Structure 1
Amino acid sequence: MNIAASILEIAVIGLGIAVMLADLWLPREKKIWLGYAAAAGLALILFGSFSMS
């Protein structure tokens, strides 16, 4: 079993859950930044995947 692929999937699922919970709790004025934060999180996971061997 490839543990690197599992770690990436868990990271994406964790980010998705965090974004959904933040969307639930944030006021409307601050939700504009939530999309940017989600995109930045996915970019970090993507660039982190290149360093995994």
Structure 2
Amino acid sequence: MLFCADLLSSLYSVACDMVLFCTDLLSSYVLSPVMWCCLVETRLAVMLSNL
């Protein structure tokens, strides 16, 4: 019984690590360009409004 609990907890921690890793990858690949575009757009809007 204890062995099963250990196995489940280790599997759970591995799954959590994988999920965190995937979300990190996704955020770095997806959110970075999105944030960059938003930054550029806001900069452009500010520049245009100053003209």
TM-score where L is the length of structure 2: 0.50
TM-score where L is the length of structure 1: 0.48
Instruction: Please identify which structure carries the higher helix content.
Output: 2
Instruction: Give the number of the structure with larger relative contact order, counting CA–CA contacts within 8 Å between residues 6 or more apart.
Output: 1
